[in-house]
Structure 1
Amino acid sequence: MEQIGLSIALIVALFTLLGSGLWVALSLLGIALFAMMAFTNAPTGLVLATTTWGSSNSWALASLPLFIWMGEILFRSRLSEDMFAGLAPWLNRLPGRLLHVNVLGCGVFAAVSGSSAATAATIGKMSIPELDRHGYPPIMSIGTLAGSGTLGLLIPPSIILIVYGVATEESIARLFIAGVLPGLLLVALFMGYVIAWSLIYPARIPPAQDDMTFAERFHQTRRLIPILLLIAGVIGSIYLGIASPTDAAAVGVLLSLVLSWGSGTLTWKTLADSLMGATRTSCMIAFILAGAAFLTVAMGFTGIPRLLAEWIGSLGLSPVMLIAALTVFFIVLGCFLDGISVVVLTTAVILPMIEQAGIDKIWFGIYVVLVVEMAQITPPVGFNLFVLQGLTGRNILYVAKAALPFFFLLLLAVVLIVVFPEIATYLPQRMSER
């Protein structure tokens, strides 16, 4: 009973610190220090030093800044323009027409970015003016971007999957491969929704304006070749076992520099800006991971995770009921924190419950990313909503309304991977058999 009261007190204190606007990493460190000093006899300073070093001294973590830098380089290249030009001619006859460019464009960019916000911003800067010029309804052009932008968290190389893999000591390569089929599932669900909406409201979709011949379309498609080769180089080398995620990230940076140089967008300024952007993001994530690692150790000393795991076990919840409860928990938590913070904050407490319930940790990683994706388009702290508000100038409530159908599609995807877990586990199992 005393430990339950302690856990409630720590949770209240943590949300108080987060609500005050204090950095997430400092909030985690502060709560961990308080728990260690007030409720344990462990040498707090020594534990802090060794834990912080241990969380930073990880070779798997080396892929993180490299993938972030790769995304920053491509963010400043002509990539989105080339994707729009390459995809649009082939989608003009499909119900929904150019709205599908948002979905497929985000899917393609997600495979080289790893960031939800960068995916939404990069594709949005190119597609929103084009869609507005052609007369597409803003609620659909914004909604498809909000939903499809979340693919940056799932389709490898995913930054959040790297963070999850480091926090749980799971194989990042297997997590990357596990994200492929769920990512394609989401693309199919989003495109299916656009087709259904367009068939219900055909008058709101502008008529086709494409009079290209097949040869002209094929000629436009060549602009997709460099980025497809980059995706094949990064993801294919990991799946075939040729390269580790860190090696593949280094190759990806090199190829993205070549791609940016070839498109004429690589200058000293864009190179410096990409390095600074990658450094800021990497340092922020590393700081959060250090704070979370110390909180994990502190929670271990207090015995709270073990107590919660035993309590969950005593309730006799089935794995499905546990996942349903965790879904609500993650969505609520995601209303106040960004995705990376949600993962590192909850890993220490949630993982013992998952292991006790016999749930596969690779599958659970994909599940966590899906529910965090839902949080990306949930007010008041849905990062994709803020990105699109900045791009469009629309009211945040309008953007949230546009994103709502895609929130439910993400929820449907969660249901599907619960019912058919092989969607997330089939490719990692095949990879292990190699």
Structure 2
Amino acid sequence: MTTSMSGMILIATLFLFLATGMPIAFALGLAAMGGLFMAMGFEVIGIVAETMFAGIGNLAFVSIPMFVLMGAIVAGSPAGADLYRALDRWLYKVPGGLVLSNIGACAVFSGMTGSSPATCAAIGKLGIPEMMNRGYPASVATGSIAAGGTLGILLPPSVTMIVYGIATETSIGRLFLAGVIPGLMLTAMFMAWALIDARRKGFRFDTSGLVYTLRDKLAVLPRVLPLMLIIVAVLYVLYGGVATPSEAAGAGAMLTLIVVMVVYRLYKLRSFSGIFGSGMRESVMIMMILASAELFAFALSSLYITQSVAEVIAALEVNRWVLMGVINVFLLVAGLFLPPVAVIVMSAPLLYPIVIQAGFDPYWFAVILTVNMEIGLITPPVGLNLFVIKGITPQVPTKEILWGALPYALVMVLAIVIMCVFPQIATFLPDYVMGPAI
């Protein structure tokens, strides 16, 4: 059987499993086992467990469940609501301040969780009903939260950046820094479109009925600022070389737990059963996807599919920007069907040497890749954030949610174009803080 035929069968099998609604980790694992059986026969039984364990047997992966737990603590406690209220009270006089505060809350919450679904769920439960109560169109309310949630995989601490760093053996601290300015730029672009979208759909920005005194604004800050300081501290020890990502994540999760217990007086164990359960479910899901994606990547390599694709791409005698365009189209299509973690595990080792050979900065490419993955979070057929928003606002038609979110995908495409023209947006901060990459 030819390499191309094997590849087509393997990919078709994966899509067939996904079409049945099978969990992504199981679909990847079963398709990989089928591919390995074609390449090795019954000998595959002896290497499946070893390959999957080797895929996640890296100490740096400990940071993922710790950052997930950190986000679950904030999302499952009143801290998320306080964060939202603080931004709303300080921005309420700004035209469109409510939608701006929601997107801003998504950006800040992302820095606490590194998780897009958690951000959508936590901020959406509060923000979407409030926006609709104040007259915002449903598509504006749901679309802005769906898009704002995608910032969770770009702004540090980002789970996808950790996975990319491990897969390509690049600095996780430098990757986190590379995502800061693009993340802030994308937040500003989301805010600008949200205001334009609301105005063109007939919403009038009127805050005459709202009054928050300075006392109201200051009242919520003592509960929010300690959590913000934890984020700053975690990022400082990472960038300052004081601790590894795993150590920083563990300390951040512990400090977040202590702050929430003290500030909100949550001392009973049953108060945290849901929080730890949520964190465990998401962590296991991510680690299962990582292990299965590693097995799938091994199957692609064993069938010589990965090497063949790399040779074809490398042999393309085209301008390097045309090559980058081809890579982005490939990533966009992959992101429509697979979660960011799975795409990065499978594609980063393949694309990394090609990107380096073409003369692109690997940290800049990590940001481009991540923004590309963000598009997949708000576009069908998978569109994880769309499902989260639909789950918390069942009264809003799916069509409204989809048409509210899709324009933000175009905003992300524009952001990718801007960063291609001005790559310093991604490379300036890591080079300034940590020195030029060797």
Change (3 A) 1:23 1:386: closer
Output one character per residue of 1:58-86: Cα deviation in whole Å (capped at 9) or x when no partner.
Answer: 11001111111111111111112211221
Q: TM-score, normalised by structure 2?
A: 0.91
Q: For residues 126 and 5 of structure 1, do their structure 2 counterparts lie closer, same or farther at Cα, with a shift above 3 Å needed? A: same
Residue 124 (structure 1) aligned with residue 119 (structure 2): no
Residue pair 1:137, 1:205 contacting (<8 A) in 2 also: no
Match of 1:257 in 2: 257
Q: Which is worse superposed, 80-89 or 94-103? A: 80-89
CA gap 1:137/1:21 in 2 versus in 1, 3 angstroms: closer
Instruction: Tell me which of 401, 418, 438 is aligned to 1:399.
Output: 401
Deviations along 1:27-60, one digit per CA (max 9) or x if unpaired, are 3333333333323589534543442232222110
Q: 2:267 and 2:123 mapped to 1: Cα distance?
A: 19
Q: Counterparts of 2:28 and 2:99 in 1: how far apart (Å)? A: 41
Q: Match for 1:129: what amino acid?
A: P
1:75 and 1:213, CA in 2 relative to 1: closer, same or farther beyond 3 A?
closer
16-25 vs 418-427, greater mean Cα deviation: 16-25
Residues 252, 379 of structure 1: CA spacing in aligned structure 2 closer, same or farther, 3 A cutoff?
Answer: same
Mean Cα deviation higher: 41-50 or 359-368: 41-50
Gaps of 5+ in 1: none
Pair 1:275 & 2:276 matched: yes
Preserved contact between residue 68 and residue 281 of structure 1 (Cα < 8 Å) = yes
Residue in structure 2 matched with residue 384 of structure 1 by the alignment: 385
Structure 2: give runs of 5+ residues left out of the alignment. none
* 1: CA distance, partners of 2:278 / 2:340: 19
Q: Which SS does the other structure have where 1:95 is aligned?
A: coil
Cα distance in 1, alignment partners of residues 189 and 157 from structure 2: 21
The aligned runs of 1:407-418 (5 Å cut-off) are: 407-418=409-420
Letter in 2 for 1:29: G
Partner residue, 1:350: 351
Query: 1:12-161, aligned counterparts within 5 Å?
Result: 12-40=12-40, 44-161=44-161
Corresponding residue number in structure 2 for 1:206: 206
Sequence identity percentage: 35
The one-letter code sitting in structure 1 at the alignment partner of 2:149 is G
Q: Distance in 2 between matches of 1:408 and 1:421?
A: 19
Kindly tell me: are residues 141 and 311 of structure 1, through their superposed partners in 2, closer, same or farther at Cα, counting changes over 3 Å? Answer: same
Between the two proteins, the alignment pairs up a number of residues equal to 434
Q: Cα gap change, 1:125/1:318 in structure 2, threshold over 3 Å: closer, same or farther?
A: same
TM-score by length of 1: 0.92
Matched-pair contact (CA < 8 Å) for 1:160–1:339: yes
Take 2:23 and 2:130, find their aligned partners in 1: how far apart are those partners? 38
Contact residue 332 and residue 373 of structure 2 kept, 8 A: yes
Contact 2:140 2:198 in 1 (8 A): no
TM-superposed deviation, 1:112? 0.5
Report what 1:432 is aligned to: 434
> How far apart are 1:387 and its partner, in Å?
1.3
Q: CA RMSD in A?
A: 2.5
1:108: how far off? Answer: 0.8
- The Cα of 1:385 is off from its aligned counterpart by 1.0
Choose 350-359 or 197-206, whichever is displaced more: 197-206
Query: Is 2:298 aligned against 1:333?
Result: no
Q: How far off is 1:421 after superposition?
A: 1.6
Distance apart, 1:198 and its partner CA: 5.5
Distance in structure 2 (CA, Å) of the matches to 1:31 and 1:386: 25
Structure 2 residue aligned with 1:419: 421
User: 1:6 corresponds to which letter in structure 2?
Assistant: S
Deviation readout 1:156-192 (Å, 9 max, x if unpaired): 1112222222222322222222211111111111122
- In structure 2, distance between residues paired with 1:90 and 1:280: 35
Q: For the Cα contact (< 8 Å) 1:26–1:291, is it kept in 2?
A: yes
Q: Could you tell me whether the CA contact under 8 Å between 1:75 and 1:122 is conserved in 2?
A: yes
Q: Deviations over 1:271-311 (max 9, x none)?
A: 22222222222222222222222232333333222221221
Letter in 2 for 1:383: L
Return closer, same or farther for 1:163/1:221 CA change in 2, 3 Å cut-off: same
- How far off is 1:317 after superposition? 2.9
Distance in 2 of aligned mates of 1:264 and 1:373: 36
Task: List per-residue Cα deviations over 1:235-281 (Å, max 9, x = no partner).
Answer: 22212222221111111111211222112345422322222222222
Equivalent-residue separation in structure 1 for 2:60 and 2:199 (angstroms): 47
CA distance in 2, matches of 1:295, 1:128: 38
* 1:194 matches 2:199: no
Deviates more, 1:83-92 or 1:41-50: 41-50
CA positional deviation for 1:341: 2.5
Q: Is the 8 A contact 1:331 1:371 kept in 2?
A: yes
SS at match of 1:98: helix
Contact 2:137 2:203 in 1 (8 A): no
Contact 2:84/2:101 (CA < 8 Å) preserved in 1?
yes
Q: Contact 1:156–1:180 at 8 Å: present in 2 too?
A: yes
Contact 2:95 2:207 in 1 (8 A): no
SS state at 2:337 partner: coil
Task: Tell me the equivalent position of 1:167.
Answer: 167
Write the distance in 2 (CA, Å) between the matches of 1:355 and 1:40. 32
Aligned partners of 1:334 and 1:396: how far apart in 2? 20
